[in-house]
Amino acid sequence: MSHKIAILGASGYTGAELVRLIATHPGLEIAALSADRKAGQPMGAVFPHLRHLDLPDLVTIDQIDFDTIDLVFCALPHATSQAVIRTLPANVKVVDLSADFRLRDPAEYQKWYGKPHDATDLQETAIYGLTEFYRDAIRDARLVAGTGCNAATGQYALRPLIERGLIDLDDIVIDLKAGVSGAGRSPKENLLHAELSEGTHAYGAGGTHRHLGEFDQEFSAIAGRPVQVQFTPHLIPMNRGILATVYVKGDAAALHAAFTDSYADEPFLVVLPMGELPSTRHVRGSNYAHISVVPDRRAGRAIVFCALDNLAKGSSGQALQNANLMLGLPETEGLTAPAVFP
Amino acid sequence: MSHKIAILGASGYTGAELVRLIATHPGLEIAALSADRKAGQPMGAVFPHLRHLDLPDLVTIDQIDFDTIDLVFCALPHATSQAVIRTLPANVKVVDLSADFRLRDPAEYQKWYGKPHDATDLQETAIYGLTEFYRDAIRDARLVAGTGCNAATGQYALRPLIERGLIDLDDIVIDLKAGVSGAGRSPKENLLHAELSEGTHAYGAGGTHRHLGEFDQEFSAIAGRPVQVQFTPHLIPMNRGILATVYVKGDAAALHAAFTDSYADEPFLVVLPMGELPSTRHVRGSNYAHISVVPDRRAGRAIVFCALDNLAKGSSGQALQNANLMLGLPETEGLTAPAVFP
Amino acid sequence: MSHKIAILGASGYTGAELVRLIATHPGLEIAALSADRKAGQPMGAVFPHLRHLDLPDLVTIDQIDFDTIDLVFCALPHATSQAVIRTLPANVKVVDLSADFRLRDPAEYQKWYGKPHDATDLQETAIYGLTEFYRDAIRDARLVAGTGCNAATGQYALRPLIERGLIDLDDIVIDLKAGVSGAGRSPKENLLHAELSEGTHAYGAGGTHRHLGEFDQEFSAIAGRPVQVQFTPHLIPMNRGILATVYVKGDAAALHAAFTDSYADEPFLVVLPMGELPSTRHVRGSNYAHISVVPDRRAGRAIVFCALDNLAKGSSGQALQNANLMLGLPETEGLTAPAVFP
Amino acid sequence: MSHKIAILGASGYTGAELVRLIATHPGLEIAALSADRKAGQPMGAVFPHLRHLDLPDLVTIDQIDFDTIDLVFCALPHATSQAVIRTLPANVKVVDLSADFRLRDPAEYQKWYGKPHDATDLQETAIYGLTEFYRDAIRDARLVAGTGCNAATGQYALRPLIERGLIDLDDIVIDLKAGVSGAGRSPKENLLHAELSEGTHAYGAGGTHRHLGEFDQEFSAIAGRPVQVQFTPHLIPMNRGILATVYVKGDAAALHAAFTDSYADEPFLVVLPMGELPSTRHVRGSNYAHISVVPDRRAGRAIVFCALDNLAKGSSGQALQNANLMLGLPETEGLTAPAVFP
């Protein structure tokens, strides 16, 4: 029997990606799609690549009868997300793709997002959605907070190393290369093709990017002491993909062993042989992440790489993986299609 | 029970695309992958996006025991293809992705491919693989000849119109825009990123492109008289996709009606409402084709568009669709994943 | 001695392109740059590639003292352009890059631009800015109307053929591939990198694109009878460049001879040997256009190609070439830099 | 009076870039162009963007009469370069764009390039071609060794900081993003458009990239002690451009002051205001480099950025700048054209 789901904020890229993934999922039925400004339109008019699917038309959120819904994917902007989720019936499970429930400390939320949190009671029940590290809690959760796509990438490259005490916690540099779909579908001059193609630049450098809040929270919790990484994202002229290049001080062989051990049973985390270099092209459109370790020429230093698709494993794929767990379905259902290359 | 298949020429883009599509197909098992120059390597070394799959290593063709194989996908170069296929056991079904069995007249083969055909007996048994128009024959065929990707695109835009006598047969112009993966994976200066990105140009202009042989054969057969279209392909800086812009003389409303009627029950041919314009982005990675009609400002003239993915619907997706028919499987199995956008 | 010029609408791509070209022009001095919404900012903040130049800050138009200006480049939107130009002192020469003065018949202007022309007196004095065909009139003009970039490309491929009566006037198809910078710098969803890269689609198909007004006007005037071409522009994932593929009925050798003869003394129109195919990459960033002819396999039919850079030869380069003529400077001054390839 | 120059290896990208830059240089005349495998062809056949120029046809090196040549640009592969340069007449000045004369210590050459140096006598006379730091020696040199393009970018971001003792020499990380033209024009599978577009990956990670030899040599010499940076280049789907993201430990304000002071009179090194982030798009096709400093959220750490065009400032532009000095011409001649954006 199918579980009925709704996608709120279906006119953005993560909403469309959810529809794409669920289209071949045997256990889920899309019962409602919301998009306030595009309510009344068929989904296929907003995303023509989905036009052959039999989908409900876009509606406003208040037109949805949530009593018939088992699980809601909430792909709304932060702040909006918490306002909407607090109005949902308690028996509806929620996977939130916004930033609203990622940070457990409301002070941290205010620091990074510039406004007080308005649903701190809900926050206390939310589980951080990095599946591989919160799997059991996610299974029982009512509300799961999808991680930042950059935050997920960096964590896959670092968590096992911090957990095992294998690296110097004071000298971690995450240099990240991100595709443009992560910036969303809202029209902005700096996101135009003519502005972005054929070049690259950094943004949010120097410790201002909001995903640092997640790094700080998670890495400090694992280490049992404050950890502050250095983090510089760059925009790359590609639509999908994140590559994290992480500079650490530690023994490369030990790091590689930590990954092969920690991720041995993970269906979506692929550890490459020592020295091989991942490419975002090889995970494009898929829920897989490729992780690798390269020793530096100076002993005691190494570079860790992680490549994943920001819309899939970094966001909507992760959300579906979590939803599968929350609904008691096989965790990998609908998520095993290989990357689209070239 | 699974059918066992082999892919010959698995180190090219169409071979990899077959593996990608079959990876989520419940009724097929990949029993052998060949690639002469890369024999001995794991498929994941040649195509890292497939490295998480449990696949047989690449072998030479003579290492394959074809007695255990139900169907072979032959993704070898033309000329090589006919030499190999003639050596296969008679009970093995074959879907050939090369040009070797597309042209029924050996003289036409020699004209377009510059050498005599060496397997004319096999040629006589081959069925042209444009599924929607040869479906019944494909079901019973032992050997199906996959169409040219450009040839498929142009035919989807024209066959129903010629069949119904709706257009002037002497004034058909096919202006085609093709992605670069259609040119293959062999290193050539003119296919380098630095040569191809950020620009466009025509190639094979003036009636020299080999896919004209297919247009001539098929359109003349339908019309019952010689038909020679004008055809100019252009290389576009995109990896996947073909857009055919077809200029015809005929009544736009009648043309549109012909498509909606002819393609009404087709699972993969999506006819857009009159005047809507397809994009290759909306079929990328999928087996769907989008077809549309736009009336010209001058009565009696129209433009027909067809967009599809050259590696999927134009080649490996088509091949799998045909294999499904040949093996008695549901025609759409493994092929219904929506396009990857953006 | 330097001539002083002003650029109105300097925050768009054509404005920036004018500054780029004039930066190495020995006879022109940029005395004023306007951009209403960005007034007060340095040009280098709006276009960082120009930040090392010593340029006046952006101002509003009414802050400019036009008495000190010899020539104005007006890169404003249509309708705004005519309103501004009518207020300029009569002794200031004007090169308008908008569509406002391209169409000599006010009824045609209203038809294509949807509103009445408000400066028909000025229109009567304007010279159409396709340099090679209006050179003498441009030299003496006070107001020159820059052509549409697509319109320029199509005309370079057709004017000599129509003038000499070499082609069938009723069967002309212009299939055009255009780079995205032609759509401007205003933020729109359909111009985002994630929407445009890695794919192609047509727009304004079926005779609705405004540049048809220019084709109709010019070709009909040359032919001495109404000429209506078929014209389909496509958006290509490249920032600069236009390639026109023009299908005509005529003798290819005669067409090629017409070009080599007509363009023999043209500094910027390069006729390729018969059968060679131009690429937009080879004119990128330059004021050169490459023109070629390919015979079709059917006698009496041919394909004509023209490639140019929409921002340079198609717009700002053309404007500078015209300004050189109007100011009595060498026509090619500041315009001879080769294309930037790769 | 013009100086006569020859370009050896003119069929590669750096050779073509030299021709492009020299085309608008008033003081240089291209007297000979060599390309062994393409000898006999016009340059315009090999690089159609240069076809309108009046250039000598390509010849073999032994067909050039070097007695009439004032200066040779040698754009040959390493190893070949030293063999050719040792045969040139002593009165011919040479700017070498290969790696052959960059490393002063023959043991270092052997270490990084895998074979002994065969012209160590010439090596002793060669001047390292980073113009801004070797200007006086370059003026008097007979042989100047053009730097690696990555090596130039990293040095612009670090030399003043090391010279002034402002950063921790043991913790320098250079994460570099490079355009694909730096990999040259030879056909290789991994440089195909279908392999490179729409994604990113690192290469030569872990201290294996040859440009490390230059970093080691130069930084150690400045510091007066061994300095080994960590260096990871990444291939970005753009044709031109390098962005270096350099992580250092030092006071951001002091670093920024060091740049504004050191580069105050440099015509091509543009220091951005503190915190602004450069883009490769804003230097594309130009000889300018943009340098900036961003403080990290943790005091005592900073990120330094440098963006330049690998073919221009990183290679052929640098070569021309050096040639100007060697010939007693104005240093900036032919090099002041702004970047081509978009």
Q: Which of C189, C193, C237 sits opposite A180 (nearest CB)?
A: C193
Residue C279 and residue B171: Cβ atoms within 8 Å?
no
pLDDT exceeds 70 at position B174? yes
pLDDT, position B282: 98
Pseudo-torsion of CA C59, C61, C64, C68, nearest 10°?
130
Peptide bond just before D56 cis, omega within 30 deg? no
pLDDT exceeds 90 at position B1? no
Q: What is the pLDDT of residues D21-64, one digit of tens each?
A: 999 999 999 999 999 999 999 999 999 999 999 999 999 999 99
pLDDT, position C60: 98
pLDDT exceeds 90 at position A109? yes
Confidence of residue C1 (pLDDT cuts 50, 70, 90): low
Q: Which of B24, B47, B272 sits opposite A341 (nearest CB)?
A: B47
Identify the CA nearest to B318 among candidates B193, B144, B93, B112. B144
Q: What is the pLDDT of residues B51-72, one digit of tens each?
A: 999 999 999 999 999 999 999 9
Q: Which amino acid is at B252?
A: A
Q: HEC states along chain C? A: CCEEEEEECCCCHHHHHHHHHHCCCCCEEEEEEECHHHCCCCHHHHCHHHCCCCCCCEECHHHCCHHHCCEEEECCCCCHHHHHHCCCCCCCEEEECCCCCCCCCHHHHHHHHCCCCCCHHHHHHCEECCHHHHHHHHHHCCEEECCCHHHHHHHHHHHHHHHCCCCCCCCCEEEEEECHHHHCCCCCHHHEHHHHCCCCEECCCCCCCCHHHHHHHHHHHHHCCCCCCEEEEEECCCCCCEEEEEEEECCHHHHHHHHHHHCCCCCCEEECCCCCCCEHHHCCCCCCEEEEEEECCCCCEEEEEEEECCCHHHHHHHHHHHHHHHCCCCCCCCCCCCCCCC
Distance of residue A112 Cα from the nearest chain D Cα, in angstroms: 13
Mean pLDDT of C245-252: 98
pLDDT, position A220: 98
Residue of chain A nearest C13, judged by CA positions: A194
Share of chain D above pLDDT 70, in %: 100
Q: Which of D181, D191, D192, D341 would best serve as a mutation to test chain B binding (most B beta carbons within 10 A)?
A: D192
Residue B67 in contact with partner chain A when CB distance is under 8 A = no
Q: What is the pLDDT of residues A177-196, one digit of tens each?
A: 999 999 999 999 999 999 99
CA B126 to chain centre: 15
Measure the CA–CA gap between A153 and A103, rounded to whole angstroms.
Answer: 17
Q: Chain D residues with CB inside 8 Å of B12's CB?
A: none
Query: Could you say which of A22, A149, A152, A246 is catalytic?
Result: A149
Q: What is the pLDDT of residues A51-84, one digit of tens each?
A: 999 999 999 999 999 999 999 999 999 999 999 9
Q: Chain B residues with CB inside 8 Å of A286's CB?
A: 49
Share of chain A above pLDDT 90, in %: 99
pLDDT exceeds 70 at position B164? yes
pLDDT, position D336: 97
Q: What is the pLDDT of residues D207-237, one digit of tens each?
A: 899 999 999 999 999 999 999 999 999 999 9
Distance of residue B141 Cα from the nearest chain A Cα, in angstroms: 30
Q: Chain D residues with CB inside 8 Å of A171's CB?
A: 171
Q: Chain B residues with CB inside 8 Å of D239's CB?
A: 193-194, 197-198
pLDDT, position B225: 98
pLDDT, position A1: 63
Mean pLDDT of D285-290: 98
Q: What is the pLDDT of residues C151-201, one digit of tens each?
A: 999 999 999 999 999 999 999 999 999 999 999 999 999 999 999 999 999
Q: What is the pLDDT of residues B273-330, one digit of tens each?
A: 999 999 999 999 999 999 999 999 999 999 999 999 999 999 999 999 999 999 999 9
Residue D285 and residue C197: Cβ atoms within 8 Å?
no
Residue A208 in contact with partner chain D when CB distance is under 8 A = yes
Q: Which of C198, C243, C282 sits opposite B238 (nearest CB)?
A: C198
Residue C234 and residue B301: Cβ atoms within 8 Å?
no
Q: What DSSP state is assigned to residue B229?
A: -
Mean pLDDT of A220-235: 98
Listed in order, the ranges of chain A carrying CATH 3.40.50.720 are: 3-146+313-326
Mean pLDDT of C225-245: 98
Identify the CA nearest to B186 among candidates B13, B8, B58, B7. B13
Residue D284 in contact with partner chain A when CB distance is under 8 A = yes
Listed in order, the ranges of chain D carrying CATH 3.30.360.10 are: 150-309
Q: What ipTM was estimated for this complex?
A: 0.97
Residue D185 in contact with partner chain A when CB distance is under 8 A = no
Mean pLDDT of D67-94: 96
Cβ-Cβ contacts under 8 Å between C and D: the total is 88
Cβ-Cβ contacts under 8 Å between A and D: the total is 159
Listed in order, the ranges of chain B carrying CATH 3.40.50.720 are: 3-125
Classify domain D150-309 by CATH number.
3.30.360.10
Identify the CA nearest to B34 among candidates B16, B7, B55, B1. B7
Residues with Cβ within 8 Å of B184's Cβ and at least 6 positions away in sequence, in order, are B12, B13, B191
Mean pLDDT of D150-155: 98
Indicate if C306 belongs to the active site: no
CB atoms within 10 A of CB C166: 17
Mean pLDDT of A274-301: 98
Listed in order, the ranges of chain C carrying CATH 3.30.360.10 are: 150-310
Q: Hey, what long-range contacts does B273-278 have (CB within 8 A, 24 or more apart)?
A: B275/C206, B277/B305, B277/C201, B277/C202, B277/C203, B277/C205, B278/A48, B278/B243, B278/B305, B278/B306, B278/B307, B278/C201
Mean pLDDT of B336-340: 98
Residue C191 and residue A195: Cβ atoms within 8 Å?
no
Q: Chain C residues with CB inside 8 Å of A195's CB?
A: 185, 193
Distance of residue C82 Cα from the nearest chain D Cα, in angstroms: 27
8-37 of D, contacting C, C-beta below 8 A: 13, 16, 19-20, 23-24
Residue for token digits 């009165």?
Answer: D91
Q: What is the pLDDT of residues C271-296, one digit of tens each?
A: 999 999 999 999 999 999 999 999 99
Distance of residue D269 Cα from the nearest chain A Cα, in angstroms: 18
Please give the class, per CATH, of domain A3-146+313-326.
alpha beta
Classify domain C3-125 by CATH number.
3.40.50.720
pLDDT, position C162: 98
Q: What is the pLDDT of residues C284-339, one digit of tens each?
A: 999 999 999 999 999 999 999 999 999 999 999 999 999 999 999 999 999 999 99
pLDDT exceeds 80 at position A234? yes
Residue C183 in contact with partner chain D when CB distance is under 8 A = no
Phi, psi (degrees; rounded to nearest 5) at C317: -65, -45
pLDDT, position B22: 98
Q: What is the pLDDT of residues B98-113, one digit of tens each?
A: 999 999 999 999 999 9
Classify domain C150-310 by CATH number.
3.30.360.10
Residue B236 and residue C240: Cβ atoms within 8 Å?
no
Query: Could you say which of D6, D69, D88, D149 is catalytic?
Result: D149
Mean pLDDT of B145-150: 98
pLDDT exceeds 90 at position B169? yes
CA distances from D92 to B112, C179, D108, D135, D326 (A): 54, 45, 27, 19, 11
pLDDT, position D1: 63
pLDDT, position D84: 97
Residues with Cβ within 8 Å of A62's Cβ and at least 6 positions away in sequence, in order, are none
Please return the burial class of B65, using the count of CB atoms within 10 Å of its CB with bins 0-12, 13-18 and 19+. Answer: exposed
Mean pLDDT of B218-247: 98
**Residue A245 · residue A177 · CB < 8 Å:** yes
Mean pLDDT of C74-90: 96
Distance of residue D188 Cα from the nearest chain B Cα, in angstroms: 5
pLDDT, position C182: 95
Q: Which of D17, D52, D281, D333 would best serve as a mutation to test chain C binding (most C beta carbons within 10 A)?
A: D52
